[in-house]
Amino acid sequence: MCGIFGCFLKNENAAPVIHSSLKRLEYRGYDSVGIATISEGTLFIKKGQGKIDIVHKDLNLDDLPGNFGIGHTRWATHGAPLQINSHPHSDCTDKITVVHNGIIENFNDLKIELQNLGHTFVSKTDTEVIPHLIEEIIKNKPALSLANAVQEATKRLEGSYAIAVISSYEPDKIVCARNESPLVLGISNNGIYCASDIPAFLPLTNKVVMINDGELVILTTDGYQIKKLQDGSTLERAPERVEWSAEMAVKHGYPHFMIKEIHEQSEVLRNTMRLQDRYLDLMSTFLDRATEIFLVACGTSYHACLAASYMFSKLAFLPTYPVYASEFIEQYGKAVNIDSTILAVSQSGETADTIAAVATAQQRAATILSLTNTIGSTLTRISRVYIGTQAGPEIGVAATKTFTSQLSVLAQLALRLAKKRGKVSQSEIDVLDAQLEKLPDLVDTIVKTQEEKVKQIVHKYANSKVIFFLGRGISTATAFEARLKLMEIAYIPSVAFPAGESKHGPISLIEQGTPVVFVCQKDDTHKTVIGNIMEMKARGAKILAIIEEDDNEIKPLVDDYLEVPKNIPSVLSPIPYVVPLQLLAYYMALEFNYDPDMPRNLAKSVTVK
Ligand code: M6R
């Protein structure tokens, strides 16, 4: 989730405007920054690693000449957050330069093809194939315009992109194109802007033109032209006015980052499906060879590990041990050795307990693998293999989209392991793969259909002394995560247990009206969960169930229910089933006027032990 920006100004230098606009996009990532402008037919570029202010202090981004240019603030996915990987990326002749937000899935094939044609690559990014592809097209068809060359290049790209291209071949235009990554234009009396997001130019104009997937835009001093990428036909689209404040714009009109991030989950899940096969294969090979595997993490990431232990066991017949990172050294520190494998999971990649656990295991020669949302973090630096979870920066302290993205990557690993180990039939794997592909749309449906329902029922559960969360099998992890969400932002004491365990003690807390939330996926545990619901009802509990749509066995037994679509395989169920519970926690916090983005006593990244 990087930020791109470009502008064509009538009477001023573009670089200071690009610089300040990129600052307003920094929430999309700040691993590196770069600006390119064109003046008197010559292309100028400045770029560097780190936050915009730091790079600006070193390089003075504002003194680039020219009244138009493009810029980029990076959130690393392909290639570490280094100077060499910062955008813009250029072709071999340094005449074409590109900024990009998204993931080019087939970049490796394209890179090999272009290298065989003599192109030299300097970065490890997926983006760099784009300028080389345009260069190659122009080399073969010199009569082609820059816009047509970009259009032709996009036909070779698989994946997601919003790109802005400038070239000294045609030093009077910016060419943009979009597929699945956001792109919007801003129109003012002083100039025209293209950006990943409205906040970039909101202080300059509130007149916007939304660009859709499959469209190309040409910005010139005279205005903008929109064309279809497929056939080059021209589209007419007038600007609209947005009435957002700057603060609302960063949150995309949502009142809080948390709810924005809940809504972003379908897009994030789509991105997790674009991971490169070779990293998933490499990590699953390490896991397959391991003698013992510890899944190590804190908080929400630990819940992803807990869910993963069910996935690995059920699909790959592979036992793994989920462990709280803060307990790992005491519990297993002396027992790990060269035969141990640690799969550490951390959104930030900086959590002190996770890093300490991993460091201890590393000293004892264990193999370190990791999943993290932050490429370049400490965890990536000490791991033998790591995979980025593709969620984009998460600002809300309560983890939401990073949790579901972790689950998606872990499920993909489990499926690969299942295949490698030959434990599950190919037809079953095909069904699971297909369901995983459908999850982004299903999550979207859940948010759309259940959000209003959550708003309507939340007051019934607000004034509770304690709330229970129960699930069986893999839903135990969902129940644990739902409890953590509710506790951390709505400050309601909550209890989560495997449903079967509840009668071994916790049930003594149940009084008339105590809320119990059951996670009831439709699998082998369904009948037993119904038994557990009856036990709770018999003691006066008020039941809210998360059920499969039209689960007519459970509906009549409970006080309220929230539904998720049918036929979701049990091993994938935490991804959709947690969504209504994230919404529940969010709207519960609003019931009390708490700020869900900044819960008391908490920090986004816990860097102390
Ligand atoms: O960055 P990490 O994933 O390592 O963070 C772990 C926990 O601190 C984190 O999940 C925390 O529990 C969140 N606030 C949960 O919403």
d(CA 483, CA 303): 11
Residues 336-359 pLDDT 10s: 999 999 999 999 999 999 999 999
The secondary structure of residue 345, as a DSSP letter, is E
Cβ of 454 closer than 6 Å to ligand 1, yes or no, is no
Instruction: Provide the pLDDT for residue 606.
Output: 81
Measure 401 CA to ligand 1 centroid, in angstroms: 12
Give the other-Cβ count within 10 Å of 23's Cβ.
18
Q: Which of 258, 296, 298, 383 to mutate to test the pocket of ligand 1 (most atoms within 8 A of CB)?
A: 298
Mean pLDDT, residues 452-468: 96
Q: pLDDT at residue 468 above 90?
A: yes
Taking Cα atoms as reference points, which of 268, 144, 162 lies closest to residue 215? 162
Work out the mean pLDDT of the chain and round it to a whole number: 95
Q: pLDDT at residue 400 above 90?
A: yes
Residues 85-144 pLDDT 10s: 999 999 999 999 999 999 999 999 999 999 999 999 999 999 999 999 999 999 999 999
Cβ of 298 closer than 6 Å to ligand 1, yes or no, is yes
d(CA 134, CA 150): 6
SS (H, E, C) 326-387: HHHHHHHCCCCCCCEEEEEEECCCCCHHHHHHHHHHHHCCCEEEEEECCCCCHHHHCCCEEE
Which atom of ligand 1 is nearest to 602's Cα? 14
Cβ of 606 closer than 6 Å to ligand 1, yes or no, is yes
Polymer length of the chain: 609
Which atom of ligand 1 is nearest to 485's Cα? 16
pLDDT bracket for residue 276 (50, 70, 90) = confident
Cβ of 88 closer than 6 Å to ligand 1, yes or no, is no
Q: Ligand 1 atom 4: the closest Cα is on which residue? A: 346
Measure 306 CA to ligand 1 centroid, in angstroms: 14
Cβ of 300 closer than 6 Å to ligand 1, yes or no, is yes
The secondary structure of residue 94, as a DSSP letter, is S
Cα 593 to Cα 490, 491, 596: the distances in Å are 9, 12, 9
Q: Say which residues have a Cβ less than 8 Å from residue 63's Cβ, sequence separation at least 6.
A: 15
d(CA 106, CA 112): 10
Cα 459 to Cα 346, 462, 589, 603: the distances in Å are 33, 5, 11, 28
Torsion angles phi and psi, residue 322, rounded to 5: -75, 130
Q: Ligand 1 atom 7: the closest Cα is on which residue? A: 299
Cβ of 399 closer than 6 Å to ligand 1, yes or no, is yes
Chain-centre distance for alpha carbon 31: 16
Cβ of 346 closer than 6 Å to ligand 1, yes or no, is yes
Residue type at 87 in one-letter notation: H
Cβ of 301 closer than 6 Å to ligand 1, yes or no, is yes
Measure 105 CA to ligand 1 centroid, in angstroms: 29
Which atom of ligand 1 is nearest to 606's Cα? 8
pLDDT bracket for residue 275 (50, 70, 90) = confident
92 among known catalytic residues = no
Q: Is residue 582 within 8 Å of residue 593, measured between CB atoms? A: no
Q: Is residue 447 within 8 Å of residue 579, measured between CB atoms? A: yes
Residues 482-507 pLDDT 10s: 999 999 999 999 999 999 999 899 89
pTM, two decimals, is 0.83
Which atom of ligand 1 is nearest to 354's Cα? 4
Which atom of ligand 1 is nearest to 374's Cα? 1
Which atom of ligand 1 is nearest to 348's Cα? 1
Specify the DSSP element, H or E, that contains 132: helix 129-140
Instruction: Provide the pLDDT for residue 80.
Output: 85
2 among known catalytic residues = yes
Reply yes or no: is the peptide bond before residue 88 cis, omega within 30 of 0: yes
Which atom of ligand 1 is nearest to 298's Cα? 6
Mean pLDDT, residues 573-577: 98
Measure 347 CA to ligand 1 centroid, in angstroms: 7
d(CA 334, CA 212): 56
d(CA 192, CA 211): 14
Q: Ligand 1 atom 14: the closest Cα is on which residue? A: 398
d(CA 294, CA 292): 7
Instruction: Provide the pLDDT for residue 1.
Output: 73
Taking Cα atoms as reference points, which of 575, 74, 557, 556 lies closest to residue 565? 575
Cβ of 352 closer than 6 Å to ligand 1, yes or no, is no
Instruction: Provide the pLDDT for residue 489.
Output: 97
Taking Cα atoms as reference points, which of 205, 111, 207, 131 lies closest to residue 175? 131
Q: Which of 256, 295, 296, 301 to mutate to test the pocket of ligand 1 (most atoms within 8 A of CB)?
A: 301
Two tokens at 238? 């007038």
Cα 176 to Cα 27, 151, 156, 218, 571: the distances in Å are 22, 9, 16, 6, 40
Cβ of 372 closer than 6 Å to ligand 1, yes or no, is no
Q: Say which residues have a Cβ less than 8 Å from residue 109's Cβ, sequence separation at least 6.
A: none
Q: Is residue 239 within 8 Å of residue 207, measured between CB atoms? A: yes
Q: Ligand 1 atom 16: the closest Cα is on which residue? A: 398
Measure 606 CA to ligand 1 centroid, in angstroms: 8
Residues forming beta bridges with residue 71, ordered by sequence position: 5, 35
Chain-centre distance for alpha carbon 555: 33
* 289-311 CB burial, b ≥16 within 10 A, e <16: ebebbbbbbbbbbbbbbbbbbbb
Chain-centre distance for alpha carbon 428: 27
Q: pLDDT at residue 454 above 90?
A: yes
The secondary structure of the chain in percent helix, strand, coil, rounded to multiples of 5, reads 40, 25, 35
Residue type at 201 in one-letter notation: F
Residue type at 318 in one-letter notation: L
Cβ of 351 closer than 6 Å to ligand 1, yes or no, is yes
Residue with token string 């394209």: 110
Instruction: Classify strands 467-471 and 515-520 as parallel, antiparallel or unpaired.
Output: parallel
Q: Is residue 193 within 8 Å of residue 176, measured between CB atoms? A: no
Cβ of 299 closer than 6 Å to ligand 1, yes or no, is yes
- 10 Å CB burial of residue 34 (0-12, 13-18, 19+) is buried
Mean pLDDT, residues 66-74: 96
How is 503-515 classified by DSSP, letter by letter?
GGTGGGG--TT-E
Q: Catalytic residue among 438, 453, 455, 604, which?
A: 604
Cβ of 354 closer than 6 Å to ligand 1, yes or no, is yes
Residue type at 449 in one-letter notation: T
Residues 522-539 pLDDT 10s: 999 999 999 999 999 999
Q: Say which residues have a Cβ less than 8 Å from residue 471's Cβ, sequence separation at least 6.
A: 477, 478, 479, 498, 499, 518, 519, 520, 521, 529
pLDDT bracket for residue 43 (50, 70, 90) = very high
d(CA 569, CA 523): 8
Residue type at 563 in one-letter notation: E
3-state secondary structure of 438: helix
Which atom of ligand 1 is nearest to 402's Cα? 3
pLDDT bracket for residue 245 (50, 70, 90) = confident
Cβ of 348 closer than 6 Å to ligand 1, yes or no, is yes
Percent of the chain scoring above 90 in pLDDT: 87
E-assigned strand segments in 251-324? 292-297, 321-324
Q: Catalytic residue among 2, 298, 305, 520, which?
A: 2
Mean pLDDT, residues 406-413: 98
Q: Ligand 1 atom 12: the closest Cα is on which residue? A: 299
